[in-house]
Amino acid sequence: MNKERDSYIKVQADTMRGLVAELAQKVGMPGDKAEFLAERLVANDLRGVFSHGSKQIIDYTRHIRNGLINANPQIRVSNEAASTVVVDGDGGLGYYAAVRGVEEVVGRAREQGIAAVVTRNHGHIGAAGIYARMLAEHDLAGYVTSGHQLNLKSEDSIMAAAGGSPMSFAVPSGQEVPMVLDFGAMHDLYAGSPHVHELFKLAPGLVFRSMGLGFMCQALGGFLAGVPLQEERAVGRRYAGADQGSLIIALDINRFLPLEQFKSEMDAYMRVTRTMQPMPGYEQATLPGVLEVQREHDFGLSGIPVDEKHRQMLTEAAAECDVLLPF
């Protein structure tokens, strides 16, 4: 989970966007694509999703500099049908293919009631919630997942087969904010996580459910997107880092219930739940997506909280790219 930071400096969003875009351009990314990436990474910072925010730029610049990722991908669309489409990411970061995928399914979902896109041949898509939230902003219900190259070995634990895949669901509201659930299926259960064995002893069903979600993410966001189980069977992979895929599904709420009626129910749900008793140790009861919108407003005014580890990662990226850190 992304947690509130205790010790930090504050950096204005525009300053952070400028830094991220400059770093991306230093390794060969065109200006428009660099600004596109910066906008999405800093949007995550503003929402408190620091794990998938500006700190990711250090890995991205290294991957591009080392030839693992295409700095200037040309996104291609194929297999177009009334309600389905495939988007090829041309070996670039996954943000470009996934956003194009959302753009492709919005109109199809309106026309057909439901639409799906598979994206392939790209790197990291970032937070799945980016794309689910985009669908909710178009008054659609959305589901997003992603899978990646696993390289499994018989000596690995079965838990490794669940990968590290994310999934996100989103639905629109009316006067209230959209409900956006965005999480890693195996969070807290990775091999290096400190409480894996304890969690399995206390709640084995919880662990198995998380693993099951991870298996499904890999099947739908990985294999369905053309990421094979064995890396040597990957077809047309010119960039080694382009080893991920995604599945994005959009649902037209109007086909089942008048949209305004659904939004009204969601508004009532949001209002009732925030009057309920919070979980132990927490100050307020909220539905998924509410705290992120609150942070987006607060951080947009006061600045993004950047802790020492985050700052160090940006400092390293700036030094490697010969960029002056602006804070």
DSSP code string of 154-195:
TTS-GGGGGTT-EEEEEE--SSSPPEEEEEETTTT-STT-TT
Contact 50, 44 (CB under 8 A): yes
pLDDT value of residue 1: 59
Dihedral in degrees, nearest 10, Cα atoms 106, 72, 183, 195: 170
pLDDT value of residue 135: 98
pLDDT value of residue 256: 97
Instruction: Pick out the chain residues at pLDDT < 50.
Output: none
Q: 137, 224, 127: which is closest to 177 by C-alpha? A: 137
pLDDT value of residue 251: 98
- Cα–Cα distance, 215 to 157 (Å, whole number): 13
Angle CA 314–315–319, to nearest 5? 115
Contact 39, 21 (CB under 8 A): no
Q: Which H or E run contains 259?
A: helix 259-273
DSSP string, 287-320: -TTHHHHHHHHHHHHH-EEE-HHHHHHHHHHHHH
DSSP state at residue 54: G
